[in-house]
Protein backbone atom coordinates (compact mmCIF):
# COMPACT_ATOMS: atom_id res chain seq x y z
CA UNK A 1 0.00 0.00 0.00
CA UNK A 2 1.38 3.41 -1.02
CA UNK A 3 0.71 5.77 1.88
CA UNK A 4 1.52 9.49 1.78
CA UNK A 5 1.87 11.08 5.22
CA UNK A 6 1.57 14.88 5.07
CA UNK A 7 2.80 17.15 7.86
CA UNK A 8 4.20 20.69 7.90
CA UNK A 9 7.59 19.47 9.17
CA UNK A 10 9.42 16.27 9.99
CA UNK A 11 11.12 17.69 13.08
CA UNK A 12 9.94 19.91 15.90
CA UNK A 13 6.63 19.61 17.68
CA UNK A 14 4.52 16.68 18.79
CA UNK A 15 2.71 16.19 15.47
CA UNK A 16 5.97 15.90 13.53
CA UNK A 17 7.34 13.38 16.01
CA UNK A 18 4.14 11.33 15.88
CA UNK A 19 3.99 11.37 12.07
CA UNK A 20 7.61 10.28 11.71
CA UNK A 21 7.11 7.49 14.24
CA UNK A 22 4.06 6.24 12.36
CA UNK A 23 6.00 6.24 9.09
CA UNK A 24 8.77 4.22 10.72
CA UNK A 25 6.28 1.77 12.20
CA UNK A 26 4.61 1.26 8.80
CA UNK A 27 7.99 0.66 7.18
CA UNK A 28 8.76 -1.96 9.83
CA UNK A 29 5.54 -3.75 8.88
CA UNK A 30 6.64 -3.93 5.25
CA UNK A 31 4.50 -1.08 3.90
CA UNK A 32 5.62 1.72 1.57
CA UNK A 33 4.90 5.01 3.33
CA UNK A 34 6.31 8.33 2.18
CA UNK A 35 6.25 11.59 4.07
CA UNK A 36 5.72 14.99 2.46
CA UNK A 37 6.71 18.10 4.41
CA UNK A 38 7.05 21.79 3.64
CA UNK A 39 10.75 21.90 4.51
CA UNK A 40 12.70 18.70 5.03
CA UNK A 41 15.37 18.30 7.70
CA UNK A 42 17.82 15.40 7.60
CA UNK A 43 18.52 12.90 4.84
CA UNK A 44 15.78 10.29 5.27
CA UNK A 45 15.08 8.94 1.77
CA UNK A 46 11.39 8.27 2.51
CA UNK A 47 10.74 11.93 3.40
CA UNK A 48 10.30 14.57 0.71
CA UNK A 49 10.32 18.34 1.07
CA UNK A 50 8.84 20.87 -1.32
CA UNK A 51 11.24 21.72 -4.15
CA UNK A 52 9.95 25.28 -4.10
CA UNK A 53 10.73 25.92 -0.45
CA UNK A 54 10.82 29.66 -1.12
CA UNK A 55 7.13 29.53 -2.07
CA UNK A 56 6.24 27.94 1.25
CA UNK A 57 8.27 30.54 3.12
CA UNK A 58 6.37 33.30 1.33
CA UNK A 59 3.06 31.64 2.23
CA UNK A 60 4.17 31.37 5.84
CA UNK A 61 5.25 35.04 5.95
CA UNK A 62 2.08 36.40 4.30
CA UNK A 63 -0.16 34.33 6.56
CA UNK A 64 1.62 35.45 9.74
CA UNK A 65 1.54 39.04 8.49
CA UNK A 66 -2.22 38.78 7.98
CA UNK A 67 -2.68 37.63 11.58
CA UNK A 68 -0.31 40.33 12.82
CA UNK A 69 -2.20 43.11 11.07
CA UNK A 70 -5.65 41.84 12.06
CA UNK A 71 -4.56 41.74 15.67
CA UNK A 72 -3.77 45.46 15.55
CA UNK A 73 0.00 45.19 15.11
CA UNK A 74 0.13 42.98 18.20
CA UNK A 75 1.93 39.68 18.66
CA UNK A 76 -0.85 38.39 20.90
CA UNK A 77 -2.01 34.93 19.81
CA UNK A 78 0.20 35.03 16.71
CA UNK A 79 0.86 31.31 17.09
CA UNK A 80 -2.46 30.30 18.66
CA UNK A 81 -4.48 30.66 15.46
CA UNK A 82 -4.18 29.56 11.84
CA UNK A 83 -6.41 30.97 9.08
CA UNK A 84 -5.18 28.67 6.25
CA UNK A 85 -5.25 31.60 3.83
CA UNK A 86 -2.01 30.66 2.08
CA UNK A 87 -0.53 27.34 1.01
CA UNK A 88 1.30 25.29 -1.58
CA UNK A 89 -0.45 22.94 -4.01
CA UNK A 90 0.70 19.39 -3.31
CA UNK A 91 -1.84 17.64 -5.52
CA UNK A 92 0.32 18.02 -8.64
CA UNK A 93 3.34 16.36 -7.01
CA UNK A 94 4.24 12.79 -8.03
CA UNK A 95 4.17 11.69 -4.37
CA UNK A 96 0.51 12.70 -4.19
CA UNK A 97 -0.47 11.23 -7.55
CA UNK A 98 1.18 7.86 -6.84
CA UNK A 99 -0.34 7.41 -3.36
CA UNK A 100 -3.16 4.97 -2.66
CA UNK A 101 -4.18 6.92 0.43
CA UNK A 102 -3.44 10.39 1.82
CA UNK A 103 -2.81 10.74 5.54
CA UNK A 104 -2.93 14.36 6.72
CA UNK A 105 -1.51 15.36 10.08
CA UNK A 106 -0.71 18.95 11.18
CA UNK A 107 -0.69 21.04 7.97
CA UNK A 108 -0.83 24.63 9.21
CA UNK A 109 1.39 27.73 9.14
CA UNK A 110 1.35 28.33 5.41
CA UNK A 111 1.60 24.71 4.22
CA UNK A 112 -1.95 23.83 3.09
CA UNK A 113 -4.57 26.52 2.54
CA UNK A 114 -8.34 26.07 2.32
CA UNK A 115 -8.03 26.08 -1.46
CA UNK A 116 -5.44 23.26 -1.41
CA UNK A 117 -7.29 21.30 1.27
CA UNK A 118 -10.37 21.46 -0.92
CA UNK A 119 -8.41 19.88 -3.79
CA UNK A 120 -7.03 17.17 -1.48
CA UNK A 121 -10.36 16.29 0.13
CA UNK A 122 -12.24 16.31 -3.18
CA UNK A 123 -9.68 14.27 -5.07
CA UNK A 124 -10.45 10.67 -5.91
CA UNK A 125 -8.15 9.47 -3.12
CA UNK A 126 -9.27 8.34 0.34
CA UNK A 127 -8.05 10.63 3.13
CA UNK A 128 -7.28 10.02 6.78
CA UNK A 129 -6.83 13.21 8.81
CA UNK A 130 -5.19 12.80 12.21
CA UNK A 131 -6.06 15.68 14.52
CA UNK A 132 -3.29 16.65 16.93
CA UNK A 133 -5.33 19.55 18.30
CA UNK A 134 -8.75 21.14 17.81
CA UNK A 135 -8.03 23.25 14.72
CA UNK A 136 -9.93 20.97 12.34
CA UNK A 137 -13.27 21.66 14.02
CA UNK A 138 -12.83 25.26 15.23
CA UNK A 139 -12.84 28.50 13.29
CA UNK A 140 -9.14 29.17 13.61
CA UNK A 141 -7.73 28.20 17.03
CA UNK A 142 -5.74 25.13 18.02
CA UNK A 143 -6.72 25.07 21.70
CA UNK A 144 -10.18 26.43 22.57
CA UNK A 145 -9.56 25.97 26.33
CA UNK A 146 -12.85 26.90 28.06
CA UNK A 147 -14.52 28.15 24.87
CA UNK A 148 -17.30 25.92 23.51
CA UNK A 149 -18.33 28.02 20.49
CA UNK A 150 -17.23 25.18 18.18
CA UNK A 151 -20.33 23.27 19.35
CA UNK A 152 -22.43 25.90 17.58
CA UNK A 153 -20.76 28.25 15.12
CA UNK A 154 -17.53 30.03 16.00
CA UNK A 155 -17.74 33.79 16.48
CA UNK A 156 -17.07 36.40 19.17
CA UNK A 157 -13.61 34.84 19.40
CA UNK A 158 -11.72 35.74 22.56
CA UNK A 159 -8.42 35.42 20.67
CA UNK A 160 -9.28 38.20 18.21
CA UNK A 161 -8.83 41.88 18.82
CA UNK A 162 -11.94 42.64 16.79
CA UNK A 163 -14.41 40.01 17.95
CA UNK A 164 -18.02 39.86 16.88
CA UNK A 165 -20.78 37.58 15.68
CA UNK A 166 -19.41 37.64 12.12
CA UNK A 167 -15.72 37.98 13.02
CA UNK A 168 -12.77 36.26 11.36
CA UNK A 169 -13.29 33.05 13.34
CA UNK A 170 -16.92 32.80 12.17
CA UNK A 171 -16.08 33.45 8.52
CA UNK A 172 -13.33 30.82 8.62
CA UNK A 173 -15.69 28.41 10.37
CA UNK A 174 -18.06 28.84 7.43
CA UNK A 175 -15.21 28.09 5.04
CA UNK A 176 -14.48 24.84 6.86
CA UNK A 177 -18.14 23.96 6.67
CA UNK A 178 -18.05 24.46 2.91
CA UNK A 179 -14.78 22.56 2.67
CA UNK A 180 -16.32 19.43 4.19
CA UNK A 181 -19.42 19.43 2.00
CA UNK A 182 -19.45 16.66 -0.58
CA UNK A 183 -16.25 15.00 0.57
CA UNK A 184 -16.07 11.28 -0.11
CA UNK A 185 -13.79 8.81 1.60
CA UNK A 186 -12.65 10.87 4.58
CA UNK A 187 -12.08 9.75 8.17
CA UNK A 188 -10.86 11.86 11.09
CA UNK A 189 -8.60 10.36 13.74
CA UNK A 190 -8.15 11.83 17.20
CA UNK A 191 -5.11 10.85 19.24
CA UNK A 192 -7.16 10.69 22.42
CA UNK A 193 -10.69 9.83 23.47
CA UNK A 194 -11.01 13.34 24.88
CA UNK A 195 -10.27 14.98 21.52
CA UNK A 196 -12.52 12.49 19.73
CA UNK A 197 -15.40 13.41 22.03
CA UNK A 198 -14.75 17.13 21.44
CA UNK A 199 -14.75 16.59 17.68
CA UNK A 200 -18.00 14.61 17.78
CA UNK A 201 -19.62 17.39 19.82
CA UNK A 202 -18.67 20.02 17.23
CA UNK A 203 -21.09 21.13 14.54
CA UNK A 204 -18.42 20.68 11.86
CA UNK A 205 -17.64 17.02 12.56
CA UNK A 206 -20.80 15.80 14.28
CA UNK A 207 -21.87 13.88 11.18
CA UNK A 208 -18.37 12.72 10.18
CA UNK A 209 -16.58 9.51 11.06
CA UNK A 210 -14.22 10.17 13.99
CA UNK A 211 -12.15 7.39 15.57
CA UNK A 212 -9.46 7.53 18.25
CA UNK A 213 -6.03 5.97 17.75
CA UNK A 214 -3.07 7.00 19.95
CA UNK A 215 0.27 8.14 18.63
CA UNK A 216 2.95 5.44 18.45
CA UNK A 217 6.21 5.27 20.36
CA UNK A 218 9.38 3.23 19.89
CA UNK A 219 9.30 1.15 23.07
CA UNK A 220 12.67 -0.35 22.17
CA UNK A 221 14.35 3.06 22.24
CA UNK A 222 12.33 4.46 25.14
CA UNK A 223 12.95 1.74 27.67
CA UNK A 224 14.04 1.63 31.33
CA UNK A 225 17.77 1.97 31.99
CA UNK A 226 20.27 2.41 34.79
CA UNK A 227 19.59 5.69 36.60
CA UNK A 228 23.05 6.21 38.06
CA UNK A 229 24.72 5.60 34.72
CA UNK A 230 22.30 7.95 32.95
CA UNK A 231 23.06 10.71 35.45
CA UNK A 232 26.76 10.16 35.13
CA UNK A 233 26.64 10.37 31.32
CA UNK A 234 24.55 13.55 31.47
CA UNK A 235 26.47 15.18 34.31
CA UNK A 236 23.41 15.30 36.58
CA UNK A 237 23.62 15.14 40.40
CA UNK A 238 23.40 11.65 41.91
CA UNK A 239 22.09 12.52 45.34
CA UNK A 240 18.96 14.47 44.47
CA UNK A 241 15.41 13.71 43.44
CA UNK A 242 15.14 14.97 39.87
CA UNK A 243 11.88 16.21 38.34
CA UNK A 244 11.73 16.65 34.57
CA UNK A 245 9.75 19.37 32.78
CA UNK A 246 9.84 19.12 28.99
CA UNK A 247 8.06 21.08 26.27
CA UNK A 248 8.80 22.30 22.75
CA UNK A 249 8.64 25.85 24.12
CA UNK A 250 9.27 25.95 27.87
CA UNK A 251 7.82 29.44 28.33
CA UNK A 252 4.54 28.75 26.48
CA UNK A 253 1.82 29.68 29.03
CA UNK A 254 -0.31 26.67 28.08
CA UNK A 255 2.47 24.32 29.26
CA UNK A 256 2.05 25.59 32.83
CA UNK A 257 5.63 25.96 34.08
CA UNK A 258 4.44 28.69 36.45
CA UNK A 259 2.34 26.09 38.30
CA UNK A 260 5.33 23.80 38.71
CA UNK A 261 7.34 26.75 40.02
CA UNK A 262 4.62 27.58 42.54
CA UNK A 263 4.26 23.94 43.60
CA UNK A 264 7.99 23.67 44.27
CA UNK A 265 7.93 26.95 46.20
CA UNK A 266 5.14 25.58 48.41
CA UNK A 267 7.06 22.35 48.96
CA UNK A 268 10.20 24.28 49.90
CA UNK A 269 8.30 26.57 52.24
CA UNK A 270 6.69 23.63 54.05
CA UNK A 271 9.95 21.67 54.16
CA UNK A 272 13.11 23.80 53.60
CA UNK A 273 15.27 20.72 52.97
CA UNK A 274 13.49 20.37 49.60
CA UNK A 275 15.78 23.12 48.27
CA UNK A 276 18.75 20.80 48.80
CA UNK A 277 17.09 17.46 47.99
CA UNK A 278 15.15 18.27 44.82
CA UNK A 279 16.19 19.68 41.44
CA UNK A 280 14.32 20.36 38.19
CA UNK A 281 15.62 19.35 34.77
CA UNK A 282 14.27 21.57 31.96
CA UNK A 283 14.32 20.63 28.28
CA UNK A 284 12.91 22.68 25.43
CA UNK A 285 13.35 26.03 23.74
CA UNK A 286 13.93 28.78 26.29
CA UNK A 287 14.98 26.37 29.06
CA UNK A 288 18.01 28.48 30.00
CA UNK A 289 15.96 31.65 30.49
CA UNK A 290 13.27 29.91 32.56
CA UNK A 291 15.75 28.18 34.88
CA UNK A 292 16.77 31.27 36.84
CA UNK A 293 13.60 32.00 38.86
CA UNK A 294 13.03 28.40 40.03
CA UNK A 295 12.82 27.90 43.83
CA UNK A 296 15.08 24.81 43.66
CA UNK A 297 18.16 24.04 41.60
CA UNK A 298 17.23 24.11 37.92
CA UNK A 299 19.26 22.33 35.27
CA UNK A 300 18.49 23.53 31.73
CA UNK A 301 19.40 21.09 28.97
CA UNK A 302 18.13 23.04 25.96
CA UNK A 303 15.99 21.75 23.13
CA UNK A 304 16.74 18.04 22.67
CA UNK A 305 16.36 16.70 19.12
CA UNK A 306 18.16 13.37 19.59
CA UNK A 307 15.64 10.77 20.82
CA UNK A 308 18.45 8.65 22.31
CA UNK A 309 19.54 11.56 24.46
CA UNK A 310 15.93 12.23 25.45
CA UNK A 311 15.51 8.60 26.50
CA UNK A 312 18.66 8.95 28.60
CA UNK A 313 17.20 12.04 30.30
CA UNK A 314 13.99 10.20 31.18
CA UNK A 315 16.05 7.40 32.71
CA UNK A 316 17.98 9.90 34.81
CA UNK A 317 14.96 11.44 36.55
CA UNK A 318 12.58 10.30 39.27
CA UNK A 319 9.41 11.95 37.99
CA UNK A 320 8.03 13.77 34.99
CA UNK A 321 5.79 16.81 35.53
CA UNK A 322 3.47 18.20 32.84
CA UNK A 323 1.17 20.89 34.30
CA UNK A 324 -0.33 21.83 30.92
CA UNK A 325 -3.66 23.62 30.78
CA UNK A 326 -4.74 21.61 27.74
CA UNK A 327 -3.23 18.57 26.03
CA UNK A 328 -4.29 15.93 23.56
CA UNK A 329 -2.23 12.77 24.14
CA UNK A 330 1.30 14.05 24.88
CA UNK A 331 4.25 12.19 23.38
CA UNK A 332 6.24 13.20 26.44
CA UNK A 333 4.02 11.22 28.82
CA UNK A 334 4.24 8.20 26.51
CA UNK A 335 8.03 8.47 26.48
CA UNK A 336 8.22 8.84 30.25
CA UNK A 337 5.94 5.84 30.82
CA UNK A 338 7.91 3.70 28.37
CA UNK A 339 11.04 4.48 30.40
CA UNK A 340 9.19 3.57 33.59
CA UNK A 341 8.96 7.14 34.90
CA UNK A 342 5.78 8.22 36.75
CA UNK A 343 4.05 11.42 35.67
CA UNK A 344 2.38 14.20 37.67
CA UNK A 345 0.02 16.25 35.52
CA UNK A 346 -3.19 18.22 35.59
CA UNK A 347 -6.42 16.34 34.93
CA UNK A 348 -7.00 17.91 31.50
CA UNK A 349 -7.57 16.79 27.92
CA UNK A 350 -6.46 13.28 27.07
CA UNK A 351 -4.08 12.98 30.02
CA UNK A 352 -6.52 11.11 32.33
CA UNK A 353 -6.55 8.13 29.94
CA UNK A 354 -2.75 7.93 30.26
CA UNK A 355 -2.37 8.03 34.06
CA UNK A 356 -3.93 5.73 36.63
CA UNK A 357 -4.35 8.18 39.51
CA UNK A 358 -2.35 7.27 42.62
CA UNK A 359 -1.40 3.95 40.98
CA UNK A 360 1.23 4.75 38.33
CA UNK A 361 1.13 8.55 38.58
CA UNK A 362 -0.87 11.49 39.89
CA UNK A 363 -3.63 13.63 38.36
CA UNK A 364 -3.85 17.04 40.00
CA UNK A 365 -6.79 19.38 39.67
CA UNK A 366 -6.23 21.96 36.90
CA UNK A 367 -4.47 25.18 37.89
CA UNK A 368 -4.09 23.92 41.48
CA UNK A 369 -0.43 24.32 42.45
CA UNK A 370 -1.07 22.89 45.92
CA UNK A 371 -2.49 19.68 44.46
CA UNK A 372 0.41 19.55 42.01
CA UNK A 373 2.81 19.77 44.97
CA UNK A 374 0.89 16.95 46.68
CA UNK A 375 1.28 14.86 43.54
CA UNK A 376 5.02 15.45 43.41
CA UNK A 377 5.36 14.44 47.05
CA UNK A 378 3.32 11.28 46.42
CA UNK A 379 5.33 10.22 43.37
CA UNK A 380 8.73 10.91 44.94
CA UNK A 381 7.75 8.87 48.00
CA UNK A 382 6.31 5.96 45.99
CA UNK A 383 8.07 2.64 45.43
CA UNK A 384 10.34 3.29 42.42
CA UNK A 385 10.46 -0.34 41.26
CA UNK A 386 6.67 -0.66 41.30
CA UNK A 387 6.24 2.65 39.45
CA UNK A 388 8.72 1.55 36.80
CA UNK A 389 7.00 -1.77 36.20
CA UNK A 390 3.47 -0.33 36.04
CA UNK A 391 4.34 2.49 33.68
CA UNK A 392 6.42 0.34 31.36
CA UNK A 393 3.71 -2.29 31.03
CA UNK A 394 1.04 0.31 30.24
CA UNK A 395 3.18 1.99 27.56
CA UNK A 396 3.98 -1.26 25.76
CA UNK A 397 0.35 -2.36 25.84
CA UNK A 398 -1.13 0.88 24.51
CA UNK A 399 1.45 2.82 22.49
CA UNK A 400 3.94 0.44 20.85
CA UNK A 401 4.64 1.26 17.20
CA UNK A 402 3.50 -2.11 15.88
CA UNK A 403 0.15 -2.00 17.68
CA UNK A 404 -0.67 1.54 16.52
CA UNK A 405 0.51 0.92 12.94
CA UNK A 406 -1.68 -2.18 12.68
CA UNK A 407 -4.72 -0.13 13.71
CA UNK A 408 -3.96 2.45 11.03
CA UNK A 409 -3.45 -0.22 8.37
CA UNK A 410 -6.84 -1.67 9.20
CA UNK A 411 -8.39 1.80 8.91
CA UNK A 412 -6.66 2.46 5.56
CA UNK A 413 -7.91 -0.82 4.13
CA UNK A 414 -11.45 -0.27 5.38
CA UNK A 415 -11.49 3.19 3.83
CA UNK A 416 -10.19 1.93 0.50
CA UNK A 417 -12.57 -1.05 0.43
CA UNK A 418 -15.73 0.33 1.99
CA UNK A 419 -15.58 4.10 1.66
CA UNK A 420 -17.59 5.83 4.38
CA UNK A 421 -18.56 2.70 6.32
CA UNK A 422 -15.56 2.73 8.62
CA UNK A 423 -15.68 1.63 12.25
CA UNK A 424 -12.96 1.84 14.86
What's the CATH code of the domain at 287?
Answer: 3.40.50.2000
Confidence grade of residue 75 (pLDDT, cut at 50, 70, 90): confident
Instruction: State how far the Cα of 84 lies from the Cα of 119, in Å rounded to an integer.
Output: 14
Q: Is position 221 within any domain?
A: no
**C-alpha radius of gyration, the chain, whole number:** 22
SS3 content of the chain, % helix, strand, coil (to 5): 40, 15, 40
Read off the pLDDT of residues 64-74 as tens digits, 9 standing for 90 and up.
Answer: 999 988 887 67
CA nearest to 11, candidates 33, 36, 40, 35: 40
Please check whether residues 393 and 406 belong to one and the same domain.
Answer: no
Q: Is position 122 within any domain?
A: yes
Counting the structural domains of the chain, the total is 2
Q: Is 414 exposed, middle or buried (0-12, 13-18, 19+ CB in 10 A)?
A: middle
Please check whether residues 59 and 201 belong to one and the same domain.
Answer: yes
Please check whether residues 134 and 264 belong to one and the same domain.
Answer: no
Do 46 and 422 contact (CB within 8 A), yes or no?
A: no
As a whole number, mean pLDDT of residues 314-341 equals 95
Confidence grade of residue 419 (pLDDT, cut at 50, 70, 90): low
- Within 88-200, strands assigned E span 101-104, 127-131, 186-190
Q: Within 13 Å of residue 201, how many CA atoms lie on the same side as its CB?
A: 12
Q: Is position 196 within any domain?
A: yes
Give kind and range of the element (H or E) at residue 364. strand 361-364
pLDDT for the residue 389: 97
Please check whether residues 204 and 231 belong to one and the same domain.
Answer: no
Please check whether residues 42 and 175 belong to one and the same domain.
Answer: yes
182 has pLDDT over 90? no
Please check whether residues 388 and 341 belong to one and the same domain.
Answer: yes
Instruction: State how far the Cα of 231 lies from the Cα of 312, in Å rounded to an integer.
Output: 8
Please check whether residues 153 and 256 belong to one and the same domain.
Answer: no
Please check whether residues 179 and 291 belong to one and the same domain.
Answer: no
Q: Is position 424 within any domain?
A: no
Please check whether residues 46 and 106 belong to one and the same domain.
Answer: yes
31 has pLDDT over 60? yes
Cα distances (Å, whole numbers) of residue 250 to 11, 151, 300, 322, 324: 17, 31, 10, 11, 11
> pTM for the full model?
0.84
Read off the pLDDT of residues 114-156 as tens digits, 9 standing for 90 and up.
Answer: 999 999 999 989 999 999 999 999 999 999 988 999 999 999 9
- Residue 100 is part of which domain span? 2-216+401-418
Please check whether residues 59 and 206 belong to one and the same domain.
Answer: yes
Q: Is position 206 within any domain?
A: yes
Amino acid sequence: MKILIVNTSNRGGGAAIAAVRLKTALLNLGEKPRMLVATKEGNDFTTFGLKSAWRYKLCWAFERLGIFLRQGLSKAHLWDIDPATHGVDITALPEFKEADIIHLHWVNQGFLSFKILNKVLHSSKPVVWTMHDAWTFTGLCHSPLECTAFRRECGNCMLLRRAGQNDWSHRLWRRKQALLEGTGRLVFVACSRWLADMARSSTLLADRTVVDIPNPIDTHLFTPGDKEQARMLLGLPQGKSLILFSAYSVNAPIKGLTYLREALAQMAEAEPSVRDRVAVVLTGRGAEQMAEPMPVEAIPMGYVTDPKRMALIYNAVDAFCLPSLQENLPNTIMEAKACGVPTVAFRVGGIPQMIDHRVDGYLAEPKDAADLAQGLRWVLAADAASMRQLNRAAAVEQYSEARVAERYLKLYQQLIDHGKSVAD
